[in-house]
Amino acid sequence: MKKLLTALAATSLPLFTNTSHAVGLQLMPGSPNFGTAGAGHAAAGLGAGSAWANPATMTLTKEQNVGFGLIAAETDLQFEASDDSEESGGNAGGSVLIPSFAYSNAISDSLSLGFAFVVPFGSEIDYQDDWAGANVATSASTQTLQAMPALAYRFNEHFSMGFGITANETSVHQELTMTMGTPRNPIEMDVELEADGMAYGWTMGTLYEIDADNRIGVVYRSQVDTDLEGDGTLSGTQYDTSLNWENPASVVVSGFHRLNDEFSLLWDLGRTYYSAFETTHVTVEDMPVPGLDNIELDRHWQDANRYAIGTHYQLNDDVTLQAGFSLDESPVSKADRSVDLPLDEIKRYTLGALYQLNTSVGLGFGLEYADLGDAETHTSDDPLFASPAGSYDNSAVAASFSMNYQF
């Protein structure tokens, strides 16, 4: 049961940050700026998606816009155990589809309203049942649905501000195999957790237009603390379980600069405050064993930065080509990394294109290769919850499609 509770606590670490880490893969939900690795997203103001990327940039859009987006990603997570006698678990990666919807309405020259519905967090990791880290996880998945109404106000020709309220519904699921007894007489027990919860946060953005060709955007997303409640099941017996879930705050500064009639430069500097994961608190109702009804686990995550640069090339009146690169620092060291969250430094390489079909319809296409790093793990002194020592070779590919309709 202690291993069950420890495993439940492990799931409270989000598999994704506020900009959508899918087992370390960062995606921009529903954004036509996908092709620049997200660079410039807080300053670009591309259609209805601006309502989520940075509410302040809605003042750059005209009339009413409706946007739809879909991202399809495939992760390849290959673990190699240091001990050749241990099973490495095969490819633990999987597929994820991330849809999105956004709307913006320029009520006047100064006021814009918008709404976004996205799946900013969502992933799945699935190892072989008999692998060396089955005591930590055989499978784990999570999903967050986020709705955000927003408004923006232009104070003058240079400065705009935007604000949004987010409603976040998060659900998690994790399975593992617990081994008890003695080495000669081991007893394997299946453990499963399902929990969900609703919480609210906020987003604030600003936009400063230096001139017609240069602008700077800043967007801040608040920390969202969610109390997840659900069932922890141990060999068929269920216990009411609750745990804390903290999605960290983040801040991004973006720039958009039109260098000439063909080329534009876009960039991002961001920071996510992962150090909010100080402790994970798990409570189990009606637990008969003293000391196991409340457990606190120390995390040792650290704040991490993100850097991105991208370009737009205006091929002709209808087609804009995109390219981008981003680097995300690792939020966790080797000593504190677990196999249910094998996160490391992330490098993303993207290509894309925007196509203006007619005066009303704009289409966006993007492709991405993500090097998710070579995360290493080591065995701790914890006899119940210890990831096997080894290293990962992680990568992902993703494709994005978006459509914006202006009317």
Instruction: Say what the pLDDT of residue 108 is.
Output: 94
pTM as predicted = 0.86
**Long-range contacts (CB closer than 8 Å, 24 or more residues apart) made by 291-299:** 292/1, 292/2, 292/5, 295/2, 295/5, 295/6, 295/9, 297/6, 297/9, 297/10, 299/13, 299/336
Query: Any idea where the domains of the chain sit in the sequence?
Result: 2-406
Report whether 151 contacts 105 (CB < 8 A).
Answer: no
Instruction: Say what the pLDDT of residue 154 is.
Output: 98
Q: Looking at the DSSP assignment, which residues form a beta bridge with residue 77?
A: 394
- Tell which residue, 167, 304, 266, has the closest CA to residue 224: 167
Radius of gyration of the chain (CA): 22
Report whether 333 contacts 57 (CB < 8 A).
Answer: no
Instruction: Say what the pLDDT of residue 298 is.
Output: 67
Write down the H helix ranges in 107-237: none
Q: Give per-10-residue mean pLDDT for the chain (407 aa).
A: 43 34 45 89 92 95 93 85 79 82 95 92 77 78 89 97 95 78 70 89 97 97 90 79 83 97 96 81 70 67 92 96 94 70 84 95 94 77 64 87 94
Considering the segment(s) 2-406 as one domain, its CATH architecture is Beta Barrel (2.40)
User: Which residue is associated with the tokens 């241990």?
Assistant: 86
